[in-house]
């Protein structure tokens, strides 16, 4: 680098020294070139540094570290790897890896430098054991061999333990592959340890498929589990595969050949051939083919059954040949049973045994037996002719001189396994037993030695089934021939005893060993007691059924052969029958006399004493059924002492669900007892039993108590069956049935009845909780009640009903039902009648009001409209009619009102009613056209009645009188003739009503001041829009005359109108008071009503 800089600086110095005339432009180009060169050298140095340092170890001693070479590094590059803070810790390598000793735990700084290169190309790394991977070397299989007869592979390999520094645990993974496509059939793990030296390991595997069928391969790898190494631990690579294959050396094509296997095993058969196999079968059953390499095929048999004596054939069929083999399926030998060895001449020992379960293997595969005696080292093989499998076998063993104790081992062996039985026996100590009678026997035994000069103390052990061991000591005098006899008495007849003896000197030092046991059955004797007897009358009362229990062994004293049943009346035998054992009842046809029944048991020796029972049953009218519940496996019954009971008490019981006669068992209790506990293995929880207590008197039995009870109460298993008997709008009547006793399983304590609102399809049945407010519960404890009426319900509503029964043992299941109540008919009728009644009342009241207000209603809604032809108030002038038919003027004609109505009276002026007023102009007619009255257009109009609610102050002072004002249109308005020119020019302006003038009434002095007001209030205002007038009234009879020139105008106001047609807008105009329709007027009577 220094040389380069010197070279780069030399041209600049030369230029400076020689001061050559170089331009500044060239200097800048040169400096740029130098800068670019330097930057390129820096970047090249960075790219040339080693990177990505990784370290692995395969033995925990040395770490193999590698890195990626820098770009541009060629062959011959030398790297220097240094470990900081460690002496002699630099290593040179021409490759991109190097091996360094294993570093202790912790961080270490590693530097890698490229030597002999331009520049300082150094890379620094931090290395920790946690970043190092432990990958063991690839293992190698030492040997792989095959035992084709047993289809077993034997594998050997070395663990190379010497490369590891200390003791380690190693996990080996072994895989077995099959066929040419290397199909993995087995993957197992094998645990070993390494201890610093190379060790060869062995492993064997038995294939389910014969090794001859296809090629088998084995590969191994291992994993080192070092607890002190903190880095990553990985599996090694798989070793190269080792193969095992079979080379055909014979004509055998099917494997395995003549195989013996255990019954129930699975086995694979294969056929190795170059021909195509068409089918395979075992026995008569076809099997599916499993294709192997080439044309080789296999079949798999599962759970193979026992073979016949000749074996089972397995056959493979090709197009041209048939190949096959035979399989033998059986059992390993059973342990020899009942091995016994004894001698009768002290020369030869006879050993006998039972082979046990048959093996189903015969011929060369049959079980072989060998009897071996360990003290002498001699053995004897069993040789026999084929015999039934359940035959007892025997072997003869020659006694050895001066040997009394023999230790025999009987070995049994066949291709499927082996078993053995052992026996240690002193041949000279064989005890023999001889009968004296049914309660005494003589024991004899042989004791080697001469004890004639001393007495012997011998102890006899007596054992019997379900009894305590008994020991008896006897003293006997020693004899020379070593044979001794002793009598053992006080035994039970027909009982199996086991005897054994040991002896000592009378001066007792210590006991000898026990002799071998000897079992013996004593002889029979007469039954010591008669059978336990009871009687029951049949359901029809005609036959008496006699029951008795079999005698126990200690009372039967032998095998009972039959029973004699006899009937006595007045000491005379009425009937006699013999019932063979094991029948334990007899049925006699008897009347109601007092008979004595006798039952006697018989065996081969004789008859038992008779058991007697009376047939008569004393009635008891004061009998009540009681309840009782047991505790545990029994039930306690108590009663009061009764001195009249001279015999005994009898308690019988039975299952209450059984038909009569009810009898399961009975028990007899002495007459001085007042309680007893009834226990039986037949008792079951939740089953009801009937208990009957009988007391015995001389003349018969009397029923004293009747009890029903349970050993343990349980919850009912069914729900009560209930139905709905009646349904109304507000109640439901429910009826239920009793639960059968078999399903009740306890004493019924009551019913719980739940009900709530709910639909069948929409509501979900929730758990029945008493705390819920929407569920109502009724507890029915009166067991005689079978119905329940649920009241206060809503009509036409769905209810969910649930009924459950309960006992002291718990709550039974529930039965539910959905019921819809009927619709409430009374409410419906009331709902109909109330509106009808209201409508009738309203109609009646309305009718009464309408009747009373008929005149007002008529005047308000249906006023009388007078015929215009009867009133000619207005007529057109004749001249006008003749001059222009289109122009019509009103002509005033007198109008006679129909009646006069006085609305209000404020003075004592006499009331005027229905006064007919004739207008003074009514009789006078003006000159008109000579045409008839019919030819005139008549507009009739009746003047309104004007009433003043408030009289002027002057009027009140004058005496408060009121006036009735009648307005005559003709008197107020006299038609005046106009020139024709004006009529023609203003035809519309002359049509319609003219302003009504004020009424000219002679006024008094007091009234003069009110004339001005009267002018403002009297009369109608003019109607401007005359286009709205109808030329022809629909009701006018003349409207239908189309030829008449004179048509009438319909008035828009009726004759009875009390309102101005157009009310005045000024405040001083008169206002209507009481005119028209109002609600207050509806209830106000008029004076005319």
Q: pLDDT tens, 467-519?
A: 889 999 999 888 776 778 888 999 999 999 999 999 888 877 788 888 888 88
pLDDT at 144: 93
Q: Which uninterrupted H or E stretch holds 832? A: helix 825-852
Q: What is the Cα gyration radius of the chain? A: 70
Confidence (pLDDT) at 100: 87
CA 1053, CA 1048: separation in Å to the nearest integer? 15
Give bridge partners of residue 649 from the DSSP assignment: 669, 695
Q: Distance between alpha carbon 947 and the CA centroid of its chain, in Å?
A: 96
| Displacement of CA 716 from its chain's centroid (Å) | 23
| Rounded percentage of the chain residues whose pLDDT exceeds 90 | 21
Q: Which pLDDT value is given to residue 246?
A: 82
What size, in residues, is the chain? 1089
Structure tokens at 518: 């000897």
Residue 576, classified by CB atoms within 10 Å of its CB into exposed (0-12), middle (13-18) or buried (19+), is: exposed
For the chain, the straight-line distance linking the first and the last C-alpha, in angstroms and rounded, comes to: 145
Residue 605 burial class via C-beta count within 10 angstroms: exposed 0-12, middle 13-18, buried 19 and up: middle
Where would I find the beta strands (DSSP E) of 821-932? Answer: none
Structure tokens at 837: 């009644």
Provide φ and ψ at 16, rounded to 5°: -70, -40
> Given the DSSP bridges, would you call strands 122-128 and 787-790 parallel, antiparallel or unpaired?
unpaired
pLDDT band at 717 (very low <50, low <70, confident <90, very high): very high
More confident residue, 188 or 399: 188
pLDDT, average across residues 410-425: 91
Burial class (CB in 10 A: 0-12, 13-18, 19+), 352: middle
Interacting residues of 457 by C-beta distance below 8 A, sequence separation 6+? 473, 474, 475, 503, 504, 505, 506, 508
Return the residue matching tokens 């090709």.
318
Q: Where does 853-938 have alpha helices with state H?
A: 854-861, 878-883
Residue 1045 DSSP class: S
For 853-906, the pLDDT digits (tens) are: 888 888 888 777 777 776 655 555 544 444 444 444 445 556 666 666 665 544
Return contacts of 311-317, CB within 8 angstroms, 24+ apart.
Answer: 311/258, 312/282, 312/283, 313/282, 313/283, 314/254, 314/269, 314/280, 314/281, 314/282, 315/280, 315/281, 315/282, 316/253, 316/254, 316/271, 316/273, 316/277, 316/279, 316/280, 317/277, 317/278, 317/279, 317/280
Long-range contacts for 30-36 (Cβ within 8 Å, ≥24 apart)?
Answer: 34/8
pLDDT at site 864: 74
With bands split at pLDDT 50, 70 and 90, how would you rate the model's confidence at 983? very low
On whether the CB atoms of residues 410 and 337 are closer than 8 A, the answer is no
- Whose structure tokens read 């519960």? 777
Give the CA-trace dihedral at 763, 767, 769, 775, to 10 degrees. Answer: 20
For the beta carbon of residue 770, count every other beta carbon within 10 angstroms: 9
Provide the whole-model pTM: 0.41
CA distance linking residue 495 with residue 521, whole number of Å: 5
Instruction: Give me the pLDDT at residue 773, please.
Output: 66
Give the model's pLDDT for residue 527: 92
- Tell how strand 232-233 and strand 132-134 pair up: parallel
Q: For residue 978, what pLDDT is reported?
A: 42
Question: Which residues are CB-contacts of 841 (< 8 A; sequence separation ≥ 6)?
Answer: none
If 0-12 CB within 10 Å is exposed, 13-18 middle and 19+ buried, where does residue 940 land?
Answer: buried
Residue 81 has pLDDT above 50, yes or no: yes
Question: pLDDT band at residue 268, thresholds of 50, 70 and 90?
Answer: very high
Any residues with CB less than 8 A from the CB of 251 and at least 6 apart, and which?
A: none
Question: In degrees to the nearest 10, what's the CA dihedral of 103, 105, 106, 112?
Answer: 20
**Residue indicated by tokens 């009894």:** 467
What is the full DSSP assignment across 130-176? GGEEE-PPPP-EEEEEEETTTTEEEEEEE--GGGSSS-EEEEEEEEE
- pLDDT for position 155: 94
Q: Looking at the predicted structure, is the pLDDT value of residue 1028 above 90?
A: no
Give the pLDDT band (50/70/90) at residue 950. Answer: very low
* pLDDT tens-digit series, residues 287-335: 999 998 888 899 999 999 888 877 899 999 998 888 999 999 999 999 9
| pLDDT of 15 | 41
Mean local confidence (pLDDT), 731-748? 90
d(CA 161, CA 172): 13
Residue 968 has pLDDT above 50, yes or no: no
pLDDT in tens, 1043-1073: 444 444 444 444 444 444 444 444 444 444 4
Q: Is 227 left (phi over 0), alpha (psi -120 to 50) or beta?
A: alpha
Query: Can you tell me which residue has the tokens 């033998």?
Result: 328
DSSP letters, 791-819, are -SPPTT-EEEEEEEEEETTEEEEEEEEEE
pLDDT digits (tens, 9 = 90+) for 35-80: 876 766 555 445 556 778 899 998 888 888 988 877 666 666 788 8
pLDDT in the model for residue 960: 40
**What pLDDT was estimated at residue 420?**
93
Which 3 state secondary structure label does DSSP give 857? helix
pLDDT of residue 333: 92
Per-residue pLDDT at 553 exceeds 90: no
CA 861 vs CA 347, 848, 864, 865: distances in Å: 156, 18, 10, 12
């Amino acid at each position: 680098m220094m040389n380069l800089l010197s070279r780069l600086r030399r041209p600049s110095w030369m230029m400076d020294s020689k001061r050559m005339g170089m331009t500044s432009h060239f200097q800048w180009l040169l400096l740029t070139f130098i800068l670019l060169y330097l930057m390129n050298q820096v970047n090249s140095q960075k790219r040339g540094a080693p990177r990505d340092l990784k370290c692995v170890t395969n033995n925990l001693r040395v770490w193999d570290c590698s890195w990626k070479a820098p770009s541009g590094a060629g062959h011959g590059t030398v790297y220097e790897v240094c470990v900081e803070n460690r002496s002699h810790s630099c290593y040179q390598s021409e490759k991109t890896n190097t091996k360094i000793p294993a570093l202790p735990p912790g961080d270490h700084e590693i530097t890698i430098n490229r030597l002999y290169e331009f520049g300082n190309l150094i890379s620094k790394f931090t290395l920790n054991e946690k970043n190092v991977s432990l990958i063991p070397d690839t293992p190698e299989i030492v040997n792989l061999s095959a035992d084709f007869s047993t289809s077993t592979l034997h594998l050997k390999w070395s663990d190379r333990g010497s490369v590891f520094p200390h003791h380690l645990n190693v996990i080996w993974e072994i895989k077995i592959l099959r066929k040419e496509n290397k199909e993995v059939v087995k993957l197992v793990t094998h645990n070993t340890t390494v201890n610093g030296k190379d060790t060869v390991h062995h492993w064997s595997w038995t294939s389910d498929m014969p090794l001859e069928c296809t090629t088998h391969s084995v590969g191994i790898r291992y994993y080192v589990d070092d607890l002190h190494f903190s880095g990553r631990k990985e599996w090694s690579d798989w070793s190269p595969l080792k193969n095992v294959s079979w080379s055909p050396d014979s004509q055998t094509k099917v494997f395995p050949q003549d195989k013996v296997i255990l019954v129930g095993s699975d086995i694979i058969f294969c056929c190795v051939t170059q021909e195509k196999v068409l089918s395979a079968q075992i026995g008569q059953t076809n099997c599916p083919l499993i294709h192997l390499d080439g044309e080789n095929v296999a079949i798999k048999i599962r759970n193979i059954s026992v073979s016949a004596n000749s074996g089972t054939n397995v056959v493979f069929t090709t197009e041209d040949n048939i190949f096959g083999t035979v399989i033998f399926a059986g059992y390993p030998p059973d342990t020899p049973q009942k091995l016994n060895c004894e001698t009768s001449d002290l020369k030869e020992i006879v050993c006998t045994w039972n082979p046990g379960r048959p093996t189903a293997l015969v011929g060369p595969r049959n079980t072989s037996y060998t009897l071996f005696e360990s003290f002498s080292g001699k053995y004897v093989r069993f040789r026999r002719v084929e015999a039934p499998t359940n035959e007892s076998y025997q072997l003869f063993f020659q006694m050895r001189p001066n040997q009394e104790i023999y230790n025999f081992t009987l070995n049994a062996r066949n291709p499927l396994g082996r078993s053995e039985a052992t026996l240690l026996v002193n041949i000279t100590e064989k005890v023999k037993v001889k009968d004296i009678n049914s309660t005494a026997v003589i024991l004899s035994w042989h004791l080697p030695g001469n004890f004639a000069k001393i007495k012997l103390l011998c102890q006899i052990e007596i054992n019997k089934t379900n009894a305590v061991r008994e020991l008896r000591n006897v003293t006997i005098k020693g004899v020379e021939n070593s044979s001794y006899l002793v009598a053992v008495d006080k035994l039970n007849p027909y009982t199996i005893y086991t005897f054994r003896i040991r002896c000592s000197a009378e001066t007792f030092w210590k006991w000898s060993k026990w002799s071998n046991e000897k079992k013996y059955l004593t002889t029979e004797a007469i039954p010591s007691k008669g059978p336990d007897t009871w009687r029951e009358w049949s359901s029809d009362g005609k036959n008496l059924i006699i029951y008795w229990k079999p005698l126990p062994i200690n009372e039967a004293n032998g095998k009972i052969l039959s029973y004699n049943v006899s009937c006595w009346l007045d000491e005379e035998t009425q009937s006699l029958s013999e019932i063979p054992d094991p029948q334990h009842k007899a049925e006699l046809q008897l009347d109601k006399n007092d008979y004595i029944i006798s039952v006697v048991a018989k065996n081969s020796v004789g008859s038992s004493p008779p058991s007697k029972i009376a047939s008569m049953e004393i009635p008891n009218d004061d009998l009540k059924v009681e309840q009782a519940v047991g505790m545990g496996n029994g039930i306690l019954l108590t009663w009061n002492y009764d001195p009249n009971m001279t015999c005994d008490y009898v308690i019988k019981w039975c299952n209450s669900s059984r038909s009569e006669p009810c009898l399961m068992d009975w028990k007899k209790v002495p007459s001085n007892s007042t309680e007893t506990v009834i226990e039986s293995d037949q008792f079951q929880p939740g089953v009801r039993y009937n208990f009957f207590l009988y007391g015995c008197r001389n003349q018969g039995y009397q029923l004293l108590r009747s009890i029903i009870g349970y050993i343990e109460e349980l919850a009912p298993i069914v729900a009560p069956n209930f139905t709905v008997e009646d349904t109304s709008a507000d109640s439901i009547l429910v009826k239920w049935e009793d639960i059968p006793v078999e399903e009740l399983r306890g004493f019924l304590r009551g019913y719980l009845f739940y009900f709530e609102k709910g639909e069948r399809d929409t509501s979900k049945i929730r758990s029945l909780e008493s705390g819920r407010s929407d569920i109502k519960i009724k507890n029915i404890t009166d067991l005689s009640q079978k119905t329940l009426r649920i009241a206060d319900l809503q009509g036409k509503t769905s209810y969910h009903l649930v009924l459950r029964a309960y006992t002291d043992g718990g709550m039974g299941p529930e039965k539910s039902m959905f019921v819809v109540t009927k619709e409430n008919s009374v409410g419906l009728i009331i709902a109909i009648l109330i509106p009808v009644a209201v409508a009738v009342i309203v109609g009646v009241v309305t009718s009464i009001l309408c009747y009373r207000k008929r005149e007002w209603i008529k005047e308000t809604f249906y006023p009388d409209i007078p015929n215009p032809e009867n009133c000619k108030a207005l007529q057109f002038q004749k001249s006008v009619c003749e001059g222009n038919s289109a122009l019509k003027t009103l002509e005033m004609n007198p109008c006679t009102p129909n009646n006069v109505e006085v609305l209000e009276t404020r003075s004592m002026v006499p009331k005027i009613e229905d006064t007919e007023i004739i207008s003074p102009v009514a009789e006078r007619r003006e000159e008109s056209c000579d045409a008839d009255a019919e030819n005139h257009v008549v507009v009739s109009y009746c003047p309104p009645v004007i009433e003043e609610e408030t009289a002027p102050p002057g009027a009140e002072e004058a005496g408060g009188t009121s006036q009735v004002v009648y307005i005559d249109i003709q008197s107020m308005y006299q038609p005046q003739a106009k020139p024709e020119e004006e009529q023609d020019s203003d035809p519309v302006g002359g049509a319609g009503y003219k302003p009504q003038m004020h009424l000219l009434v002679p006024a008094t002095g007091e009234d003069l001041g009110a004339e001005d007001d009267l002018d403002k209030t009297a009369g109608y205002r003019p109607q401007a829009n005359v286009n709205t007038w109808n030329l022809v009234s629909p009701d006018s009879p003349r409207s239908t005359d189309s030829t008449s020139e004179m048509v009438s105008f319909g008035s828009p106001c009726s004759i009875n109108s009390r309102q101005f047609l157009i009310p005045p807008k000024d405040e001083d105009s008169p206002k209507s008071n009481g005119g028209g329709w109002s609600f207050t007027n509806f209830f106000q009577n008029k004076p005319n009503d």
